[in-house]
Amino acid sequence: MQKRYFILFITIYISSLLYLILTLPIGSNEAKIFFSENGTLYYLSHIFDNNFKNNLDFRFPFFIFGLINIYIFYLISREYLDKSKSYFATFIFALLPGIITSSVIVNIAVFVITLVLIFIYAHIKNYRTLEIISMLTLLIIHDASAIFFISLSIYFAFKRDKFMFSFSIMLTAISLIYFNGLDIGGKPKGRFLELFGLYSAIFSPIVFIVFFYSLYRIWLREKKDIIWYISFTAFIISIFLSLRQKVIITDFAPYIIVGTLLMVVTYYKTLNVRLPEFQKNYKIVCKIVTLSLIISSLVILFHKVLFKIVDKSKHFAYPFYKPYWLATELSQKGQKCYTIKHKKIKYQLRYYGIDECKQPLVPKIHN
């Protein structure tokens, strides 16, 4: 990808994220975080409170960190690829549904991705102090950081780095003991297919297949680096846990998604060892993967159009819009309260100025 095309893409990309932020109503988890009175996400979502007079008031920090992630990913990709190929790798990373959504809604994953990318970049550049700072920060802000520290323990054990191995083991123990880093309770119940469905949503289905193949190929044939250990270890742990319980995808996705770079690196390695006449099929696959990713991102961006095509209640963004539509209808009727049957939407309605009625008052609302 040429530089001028990449700059054009980034310009359109930033504009598209801002459009999505401004038009997407507040979600139930976002509203709950916004009205709770403690936690990192609560304070971050209030930094720009009433500065913009729109959804940027609570989403702006996440938007900024989403852009920072793209920049750090580009810096890391330059350590593996030349400039034009780095542009393409960053293009793929930026279009991942998981990256787009983490940049436009209130969530912890976007900050976890930032810290993981900083750690990877610091490790590549041999900035030991920055490695340690990113690890300690991650321990504090992410309850499931044990996943990350386990992968580092394995990596540094193979590298025979005694200090970093011991430090990673210590942080693993602290995360598991003091922060309840991994929930492995409950009754055994297979969630394997559900997990793969979630990963397909984060990567898009075709991209996830290629990503999974890349991890597997590197395991069998290629040299394994820090990115592979982080991504592969988190992926394997999530699979094992899914055999007995529901996996919280936000615990694992930030560590797995950074492995996107390996997918692009593997593609170019595979392409470069073949003569031009034998590269055609690989280039076709690359175009199909890229096209599927573009379509997935367009579906997220122009999701409102789908309300005219599919049943509203089956739309993936319906939980965001239902309380907003309800609040709008109640406001038009001059009603300031509503008897809430589903507690999940209580905070969403509160954000739009609709409180819970003390006495039952349930008008018939049509979706």
Domain residues for the domain of 314 are 308-356
Model confidence at 184: pLDDT above 70:
no
SS3 80: coil
Q: Are residues 197 and 315 in the same domain?
A: no
Specify the amino acid at residue 241. Answer: L
Report, as an integer, the average pLDDT of 22-47.
89
Same domain, 64 and 120: yes
User: Beta partners for 338?
Assistant: 356
Residues 6+ apart with CB under 8 A from 37: none
Kindly state whether residues 165 and 193 are assigned to the same domain: yes
Please return the burial class of 38, using the count of CB atoms within 10 Å of its CB with bins 0-12, 13-18 and 19+: exposed
Structurally, how many domains does the chain consist of?
A: 2
Q: Which of 301, 318, 335 is the last residue of a domain?
A: 301
**Radius of gyration over every alpha carbon of the chain, rounded to an integer in angstroms:** 22
Whether residue 201 sits in one domain with residue 158: yes
> For residue 235, is it within any domain?
yes
Considering the domain boundaries, does residue 363 fall inside one?
Answer: no
**In a shared domain, residues 312 and 225:** no
**Domain identity same for 167 and 24:** yes
CA 238 – CA 276 distance, rounded (Å)? 39
Q: Would you say 150 and 169 are in contact if contact means Cβ atoms under 8 Å apart?
A: no
What confidence tier does 10 reach under pLDDT thresholds 50, 70, 90?
very high
3-state secondary structure of 60: helix
* Nearest one of 157, 166, 1, 35 to 106, comparing CA atoms: 35
Task: Note whether 276 and 314 are same-domain residues.
Answer: no
Structure confidence by residue, pLDDT tens digits, 116-169: 999 999 999 999 999 999 999 999 999 889 999 999 999 999 999 999 999 999
In a domain, 365, yes or no: no
Residue pair 114/68 in contact by the 8 Å Cβ criterion: yes
208 within a domain of the structure (yes/no): yes
- In this structure, is residue 171 part of a structural domain? yes
Most distant CA pair in the chain, distance: 76
Between CA 250 and CA 227 the distance in angstroms is 18
Per-residue pLDDT at 335: 83
Query: In this structure, what token pair is assigned to residue 194?
Result: 């559900």
Which helix (DSSP H) or strand (DSSP E) does residue 289 occupy? helix 280-301
Same domain flag for 192 and 107: yes
Residue 138 located in a structural domain: yes
Given this model, what pLDDT does residue 361 score? Answer: 46
Same domain, 286 and 314: no
Whole-angstrom distance, CA of residue 210 vs CA of residue 227? 16
Cα separation, 193 vs 242, in Å, equals: 9
Please determine, for residue 18, whether its predicted confidence score (pLDDT) is greater than 80.
yes
Question: Could you tell me if residue 43 is inside a domain?
Answer: yes
**Residue 168: inside a domain:** yes
Which residue, among 141, 148, 143, 144, has the nearest Cα to 168 in the 3D structure?
148
Whether the pLDDT of residue 186 is over 90: the answer is no
Please check whether residue 119 is in contact with residue 134, taking contact to mean a CB–CB distance below 8 angstroms: yes
Give per-residue pLDDT as tens, 254-297. 999 999 999 999 989 888 777 677 788 888 888 999 999 999 99
Q: Among residues 277, 301, 325, which one ends one of the domains?
A: 301
Per-residue DSSP letter, 24? S
**Pick the residue with more confidence: 263 or 308?**
263
Q: Are residues 232 and 320 in the same domain?
A: no
DSSP letter for 345, please: G
| pLDDT confidence of residue 306 | 87
DSSP string, 214-251: HHHHHHHTSPP-HHHHHHHHHHHHHHHHHTTS---HHH
| Whether residue 252 sits in one domain with residue 150 | yes
Domain co-membership, 257 together with 352: no
Residue identified by tokens 């250990």 is 229
Write 29-36 long-range contacts (CB < 8 A, 24+).
Answer: 29/105, 29/106, 29/107, 30/58, 30/59, 30/105, 30/106, 31/347, 31/348, 31/350, 31/351, 32/347, 33/106, 34/58, 34/106, 34/347, 34/351, 35/347, 35/350, 35/351
Q: Which residue has the higher pLDDT, 168 or 195?
A: 168
